[in-house]
Amino acid sequence: MLHLNEPAPTTSRWRDILEKDFFPLNRRRDIDGLRGLAITLVVLFHAGWLQGGFIGVDIFVVISGYFMGRSALMQHPFQPLRFVCRRLYRLLPALVCMIGLVSAGMLWWVLQSDRADIAINGAYALVYLSNIWASGHVGYFQGQSIAYPFLHTWSLSLEMQFYTIIFLMALLLPLTRHRKLVLSGIFTVSLAYCAWSYVKGDTQAYYNIFDRLWQFSLGTMIWIFPRPRLSPVVANIVYAVALAVIVGAGLFYTLQFACPSYMTVFPCLAVATIIMLPETQVGRLCLVPISPLGVISYSVYLWHWPGIVVANYLFFFQVHGLMMAAVLGIVLVISVLSYVFIERTGLDYEDRVAVAARNRGAALLVGACMTLAAILFYISYVSRVH
């Protein structure tokens, strides 16, 4: 008797996709939970609901240093093209789509002066120099920041600049014994530079890669230096204290504690501590449940600030309360769609295709990025001269 293979139910197929994308088994889900906590802090800060939420960026920076340390310094042999392509496929598709769609939706109806500033900010974001542009034009914590839908990309520019630094390190420092010395030196010099900026009262150092390198380096050094060996009970206690430090900073820090400030050391050390410990019961209870939000944190970060800015433009008043909650709900839906259909699609393509096709695709992504940047530069120029 013939037995026909019946197709698997659609619900099962979608369940497999959701489990693979949002509940991956091949990574530490408590670190994804840390990302989820970080993006929650940032979004609540930008919504005006949490005064210390800016430390979410500090959390992201340390985590980024940790993952880039593995991708660049712990790969033997280091594969430069694979490293570059992975970063491009990870970051560019969603960034280009976000800036392109927001620009197309906003630039034709905003005031001419606003159009010029928004377009130039978007252009700098696409070439990953947004932090340099912002440091000379707008204070991140000032009311005028609400006029710039791409201002939040300053942190993405910092990240790409760090990728460049660690890429060069991976190329130029093939001997492991030198990496520990160089990383320690970068950490020390950057921390001292950040302290000097704090003493000077240089608030624009918030955007500066040199004031942030110690945070990236802290995450990277986790791979270089030995990790503590603690009993499960002690590990859970230390983990809980570190998590409490992060949450407490988000709840009680004020703007005067933003980088450059010695107070940023505490949440950064707490993040490094959590990463250095094995996944604990505390992590499984407190961080793993929000790990799906961490998985889509890049898309949420990309879309949440433009959503808030556009809402303020549309309604001609400072959006808050239930209106802000509605905006963030819409942003979350857009972010999930962005992750599934743009971000995840790009990464899956990079994994699936041959090396030559992967490299061509990366070149096309860079070309699309540069083309859109050139268009926005031109729009900004035309808007200023007329």
Distance (Å, whole) CA 160 – CA 128: 7
Is residue 175 within a helix (H) or strand (E), and if so which, with residue range?
none
Q: What length is written for the chain?
A: 386
The pair of structure tokens assigned to 15 is 């369940």
Q: Could you tell me if 89 and 82 are in contact, meaning their C-beta atoms sit under 8 angstroms apart?
A: no
Task: State residue 2's pLDDT score.
Answer: 43
Task: State residue 147's pLDDT score.
Answer: 83
Distance (Å, whole) CA 152 – CA 135: 12
Q: Is 136 helix (H, G, I), strand (E, B) or coil?
A: coil
The pair of structure tokens assigned to 177 is 């014994």
Residue with tokens 């004020």: 254
Q: pLDDT averaged over consecutive 10-residue blocks of the chain (386 residues)? A: 48 61 79 97 95 96 93 83 94 97 93 91 96 81 77 95 92 71 91 94 90 95 86 95 97 93 96 93 95 96 96 83 94 96 93 94 97 97 81
Distance (Å, whole) CA 265 – CA 280: 23
Q: Tell me which residue of 373, 385, 380 sits closest to 127, measured CA to CA.
A: 373
Distance (Å, whole) CA 227 – CA 239: 14
Distance (Å, whole) CA 179 – CA 182: 5
